[in-house]
Amino acid sequence: MTIAEDIKKMSREKTLHFSLLDPDKQKPNIAGKIATAVEEAGSSAIMVGGSTLVSQKQVDDTVKAIKEQSELPVILFPSGSKFLSKFADAVFFMSLLNSRNLDYVIREHVKGAKFVKQSGIEPISMGYVIVEPGMTAGRVGEVDLIKKEDVENAVGYALASQYLGMDFFYLEAGSGSPYPISNQMIMGVKKSINIPLIVGGGIRDATTAREKAKAGANI
């Protein structure tokens, strides 16, 4: 069973939690310790990535440190083709669908595809959109932000992702967002698609996480 298949199977049984570690925010040994903690807390996978580029060595060292300290799958969450590591288990091969810059829609994927093939890491396709306020991810990704109340637009992107054959769809408010994706948007998207829905940004406590899970977030 692939990592994507395993995630889909688990997400049908319960809401999952993924932890995101940015190699630019801590040294690799600290990332390893955090990985141990989040595994003990119940995370199902660890994503490694960020909106700003760090050195390839730092990405590799962070992934290796995490894998030394945790049994969870390590999935790259890259901002570009230079943010890849052969030491990861998988990579979210994600298209930033509401970006004005084709680099984030497809060009970086073309650059990184050969590396993914040669390294043997598992590509997991994902439609990715950024909703207000967007934060750093929205600025770096040169995004036409989806208005936080524009459920219809979000549903359109979600359906397009599914029809394009994506494995997952991700609604992102941006790391550090003062508020999360609305329950109305989550419910509207979830009832329209058959692929797992990931929701991120602005979720700071267990109460909010439970609320988003109840609204329909799979992850």
Q: For each of the chain's 219 residues, which pLDDT tens digit applies?
A: 999 999 999 999 999 999 999 998 899 999 999 999 999 999 999 999 987 767 888 999 999 999 999 999 999 999 889 889 999 999 999 999 999 999 999 999 999 999 999 999 999 999 999 999 999 999 999 999 999 999 999 999 999 999 999 999 999 999 899 999 999 999 999 999 999 999 999 999 999 999 999 999 999
Q: Please, are residues 24 and 59 in contact by the beta-carbon 8 Å criterion?
A: no
Query: Domain residue spans in the chain?
Result: 3-215
**How many Å apart are CA 197 and CA 139, to the nearest integer?**
23
Q: Which CATH number fits domain 3-215: 3.20.20.390, 1.20.120.160, 3.90.1150.10, 3.30.70.120?
A: 3.20.20.390
Phi then psi for 68, rounded to 5 degrees? -70, -25
**How many Å apart are CA 201 and CA 212, to the nearest integer?**
11
Q: Please, are residues 126 and 169 in contact by the beta-carbon 8 Å criterion?
A: yes
What pLDDT was estimated at residue 53? 65
The structure tokens listed for 120 are 């043997």
**How many Å apart are CA 183 and CA 31, to the nearest integer?**
31
